[in-house]
Amino acid sequence: MNKPYNNKAWFFILPVFLTVAFSAIVPLMTVVNYSVQDIISPEQSVFVGLEWFRAVMRDSELHSALLRQLIFSFCVLLVQIPLGIGLALSMPAQGWKSSAALVILAMPLLIPWNVVGTIWQIFGRADIGLGGYVLSRLGMDYNYASNSLDAWITVLVMDVWHWTPLVALLAFAGLRSIPDAYYQAAQIDGASRWAVFRFIQLPKMRGVLVIAVLLRFMDSFMIYTEPFVLTGGGPGNSTTFLSQYLTQKAVGQFDLGPAAAFSLIYFLIILLLSFVLYNWMQSAGNSGQTTGANHE
Amino acid sequence: MNKRKKGDKQSSWPRLLTLALYIVFTLIPLYWLLNTSLKTNEETLSVFTMWPNQPTLDNYKVIFTDASWYSGYINSIIYVAINTVLSLLVALPAAYGFSRYRFLGDKHMFFWLLTNRMTPPAVFLLPFFQLYSTVGLMDTHIAVALAHMLFNVPLAVWILEGFMSGVPREIDETAYIDGFSFPRFFMRIFLPLIKSGVGVTAFFCFMFSWVELLLARTLTSVNAKPISAIMTRTASAAGMDWGILAAAGVLTIIPGALVIWFVRNHIAKGFAMGRV
C-alpha cells in the first residue's frame, strides 16, 4: 500500500467524526463518571475511586456469565462462519433463483430482535409451536423453559437462524467481486474445486470475512433482546449472558456505579477480543497468501 | 480436473440441496409466524393445526385501523430512512478518505469508529436519554436516526472502505488527467464502480436501524415510537395476544424484504471493474 500522505483527507473524515462523536463521547464520559461514584440519589453521590471495579472483578456470578458468554460466542462463530460461506458458495450466481434466495435468506435479518425471540418462543412451545410439537412427537422430552440444555440449544439455533444469513450475504458479495479472469486462469491450470476455493475464493473473501467474523463476534457477545424474550435468562441462570446480567444490575437493582464499571470492563473485553481476532485473521490471511504463492 | 463451464460452476446438485435445506430451515419458523397471525387466539391456544382452520384477517385489521399500531410502522420507516441516507452521506467521503490517503491519526480514527459498535447498550441508555433531552431532540425521528448512526456509520465506513480499496488508484488518476473535477469524478465514475458496495451498505444501515429496539424505545415516547417498541406491549397482564403479535411480526418483515429486493442486483452484480 503506497497511499499518499495528505492531512487534507481529514476533511473527508470530519462529517463522520462529528456525527459519531455527538452520540459517542458524552454518554461514554457519563458512564465513566458513574463508574467511580456511589450514586445514592440523582442529587447525591460520593466519589469511590476504583472500588466498583474491584467489586466487579470479584463478582463470581459475573465470572460464570462471562464464561457462558465466551462459550456462546465461540459456538456462534464455529457454526455460522462455515455455514455462511457454504451457503454463499451454493447460491446461484445470477438469475431469479439467486434473487429469490437472497431475499429469503435476508428475511430473518430484518425482523426486530424482540420479534425473533417471539417467533422462537411460539415455535419452540410443545403445545402451540411446530418445532416443539414435532420434537415431543418424536419422543424427545423437549422444553426450553425448564431444561437448561434445551434452552441453550434453542438460543443457539435461534441465533444461527437469525444471523447466518449475514455471513452468507457478506461472503456472497465478496465472491461476486472476483473477476472471471481468476476462474479462467484456474481452469487453464486445471485447478481442483478445493484449490479454487482455497487459493482464489477464500483469500478474495478475506476482507468481507473479517467484517463478518468481527460483527458476529461483537453482536453475539452483546446479545440481549432475543434470549431475554425467549427464556428470560433461565432456567436458573443457564442462558443469562453478560448483557442481561448487566441489565439486571443497572435497571433491576439500580446499581448504576457497579453497572457502569461493569460496562467499561465489558467494553474492554470486547475490544481486546476483537483486536486479537482481527490480528489473528490478518496474519492467517498473510500466511495463507504466502503458501498460495509457494503453491504456484 | 473440473472442466466446468463458467455459467454453471455454482449450480451442482449437492450445493443446491444445501441451499434448499437451509431455505426450508429459514422459512419454517416464518411460516409458523404467518400461520399464527391468521388464527384467532382461541384456535392458537386450543388445537394444534398446521394451517388455520378458520383463517381470519382480524389481527391485521386491528393493526391497520388502530393508529397506535400503524403509526409505529410509519415512525420506524421515517427514522430508518433518515438514518440510512445520513449514514451513507457521511460515510462515503470518509471511506474514500480512508481508502485513498494516509493522514495524521488515520489508523486510530478508523479503530475508534469501530469501537463504537462494541459498547453494550444497557448502561448507555440513561446518558443517551439525558443527552437527547438536553439538546431538545427527545421523541423525534431525527434523535433515533442520529443515535443509530453511532453503530451504522462505523459499519458503513468499514464496508465501503473495503469496496473502495478494491478499485485501483489508477482510475482516480486517469480521471483527473482527463480533466474531471473531484465531485464529478466521484459521482460519475467512482460511485458506479462501487454500486454494489453502496447497495450492501444501505441494506445493512436499513437493517440494523430497523431491528434495533433499546435505543429507539429509550429515545421516544409517543410521536416517534417505533413498531418494535409498540409490539412489546402485547405481552400484557391479560396474557399474550399471540395473533396480533404474529401479524405485527409478519408486517415488520415486508419493508426489509422490499429493500433487499431493490438492492439484490447490486449485491449480485459485484464490481464492474473488469469493464473499465
* Confidence class for position A289, pLDDT limits 50, 70, 90: low
Q: Per-residue pLDDT tens for A166-183?
A: 899 888 878 877 888 888
Q: Is the pLDDT of residue A70 over 50?
A: yes
Q: What is the mean pLDDT of residues B155-181?
A: 86
Q: H-helix or E-strand containing A37? A: strand A37-41
Residue B78 vs residues A15, A34, B2, B209: alpha-carbon distances, Å: 22, 34, 51, 11
Claim to verify: residue B174 and residue B249 sit in the same structural domain: yes
Tell me, yes or no, whether B120 and B254 share the same domain: yes
pLDDT at B4: 44
- Judge whether A5 lies within some domain: no
Residue A101 placed within a domain: yes
B175 with B220, same domain: the answer is yes
* Contact check, Cβ <8 Å, B93/A92: no
Asked if B141 and B108 sit in the same domain, the reply is yes
* Same-domain pairing of B52 and B175: no
- Window A:198-217, CB contacts with B under 8 Å: 207-208, 211, 214-215
Contacts of B38 in chain A (CB under 8 A): none
Is residue B72 a part of any domain in this protein?
Answer: yes
Is residue B5 one of the residues assigned to a domain? Answer: no
Contact B249 A266 (CB under 8 A): no
d(CA A59, CA B11): 53
Same domain flag for B257 and B181: yes
Domain shared by B90 and B109, yes or no = yes
C-alpha distance across the termini of chain B, in Å: 32
Average pLDDT over residues B236-250: 76
SS (H, E, C) A147-175: CHHHHHHHHHHHHHHHHHHHHHHHHHHHH
Domain boundary among B19, B38, B56: B56
Say whether both B28 and B70 belong to one domain.
no
Q: What is the CATH number of the domain that holds B107?
A: 1.10.3720.10
**pLDDT, position A296:** 36
Write the residue in B10, B153, B214 that is nearest to A19 by C-beta: B153
What total number of domains does chain A contain?
Answer: 1
Q: Is B4 on the interface with A (CB under 8 A)?
A: yes
Angstrom distance (rounded) from CA B256 to CA A45: 46
- Same domain membership, residue B249 and residue B132: yes
In-domain check, residue A261: yes
Residues B70 and B52 reside in one and the same domain? no
Domain assignment present for B207: yes
Which residue range forms the structural domain that includes residue B225? 66-275
B34 with B159, same domain: the answer is no
Give the domain extent around A173. 62-288
Name which of B115, B123, B263 to mutate to probe chain A: the one with the most chain A Cβ atoms within 10 A of its Cβ: B123
Q: Is residue B257 one of the residues assigned to a domain?
A: yes
A56 located within any domain: no
**Residue B276, pLDDT above cutoff 70:** no
**A108 and chain B in contact, CB less than 8 A:** yes
Domain assignment present for B218: yes
- Cα of B244 to nearest chain A Cα, Å: 12
User: Using one digit for the tens of pLDDT, what is the confidence trace for B73-117?
Assistant: 899 999 999 999 999 999 999 999 998 888 888 888 888 888 888
Number of domains in chain B: 2
- ipTM comes to 0.81
Domain of A196, CATH number, reads 1.10.3720.10
Q: Say yes or no: B52 and B70 in one domain.
A: no
Number of residues that this document lists for chain B: 276
Residue with cell 473440473: B2
Identify which has the larger pLDDT, A126 or B168: B168
